[in-house]
Every structure is written in structure tokens, then in C-alpha cells.
Amino acid sequence: MANVLAPFGFAQVGTASSMPNYARAGSASPYRIKAGFITSIYFGDAVRMWVTGDAASSAAGYITPWIAGDGAGDATKILVGIFVGCQYYSASQHKTVFSNFYPGADAAADVDAYVVDDPESQWMVQAGTAATPFTQAYVGMSADINVTPTGSTTTGISGMSLNTPTITNSSTLPFKLVNVITTPPTANGRDLTTAYNYVTVAFNNQQYKARLGV
């Protein structure tokens, strides 16, 4: 049956050699979201690190959501990994809040964020381009996310999807397509004849991994 566009960001399916990182205690690494940052970050969002040299270098050392085009030849914009939750002191509730997403407000200070940054991790993501399915012919190519990813404030789940793979700017694009997903065959995203199918990607240009785009 035809696939339905219902993006969920990046869901880990494993690593190059073992089970998913979140199945192992202590596998998500700690990072920080800057106090006062007003953009939401959702479970399954790709995130980047601000470094000195960025236009907003006052945020150096903090993470923000990856934005389509961040890796287009700009060496200061590097993928960190996939956001899986946070904790912060709530200004309105006067207590520490644990959440699967950062709402973009209410934090009284810097936010403790948790990111899976294993350079060998692999992720399931939905193709977000209506023009064509991503078939076996795309395996080995590099890809960015789509231009306007949005998540859900109800579930906290990401809305990121994958843009059409390409060899252009392949050394700086964040993801590399490594497989297409076909099972279970009747589930959404498994139809390789229609758009919005599911694929597996690995990190391509990431802080702990060499740039491997073809």
C-alpha cells in the first residue's frame, strides 16, 4: 500500500556492530542547551554544536537543532548526534523537570541535554520527499534533512525527515544512506514503489567521524 508521510525524526535501529545505544545504560552523552534558547528540540531531532566562528559565537559550546543547509560547505556547523531527552529546573513549576523534549521556554538556567553521539550508530528515518521513493540506487549517497522539520508538543516526538540523497556537498552533509527498509511488508514506509518510504542512515559528517560521503 502507498506510504503515508508521518515523520518521527531519527529512531535508532542499532550500530554498525551491536544493539541500539539507548538499550545500554549511560549510552547517551551529556550536552547543554543555552539558557534562554527559545526553539524547541524534540526526541529524535538531529542536533549540531555551535562553535567559535559561527555567526552567533556567543552560543559556542551549546547544541541547537540541525537546520537544513547547515552542512553546506560550512566547517563550523558539525552534527553532534540525535537528541533523546533533557532535564532542567522549571521556572514555573519550581522543580527539576525530566522530559523527552525541550519546549523552548521555562528553563531557569542552562538545560542538561542527552544526545546519542556514537559515530557508528544507525537510524531509521522517513524519506520526506514527495517526488520519488528512496530505493536501493540511493544507498551510499549523502543527505540532509528537510527544510521545515517540526515536532509535536503533545508527544515530544521529532518531525524531521530525510531530504533526497545526493553526491553534491557529500563530504559535509550530515547523513549517509546505508539501507532501505522493507519489513514488515504491510507496514507504513515499506512500500518501495511510492514516496515516503523508510530508510536506514548512518552519520556522515559528525564530530567523531570522518567525512565519508561518496
Query: What pLDDT is recorded for position 149?
Result: 75
Outline where DSSP puts E strands in 75-167: 78-90, 95-99, 111-116, 121-126, 142-143
Give domain limits for the chain.
Answer: 23-116
Give mean pLDDT, residues 190-206.
Answer: 95
At residue 60 the predicted structure's pLDDT band, cuts being 50, 70 and 90, is confident
Give mean pLDDT, residues 175-198.
Answer: 95
At residue 70 the predicted structure's pLDDT band, cuts being 50, 70 and 90, is confident
Burial class (CB in 10 A: 0-12, 13-18, 19+), 148: exposed
Phi/psi of residue 198, nearest 5 degrees: -95, 145
At residue 137 the predicted structure's pLDDT band, cuts being 50, 70 and 90, is very high
User: Is the sign of the CA dihedral 9, 13, 15, 19 positive or negative?
Assistant: positive
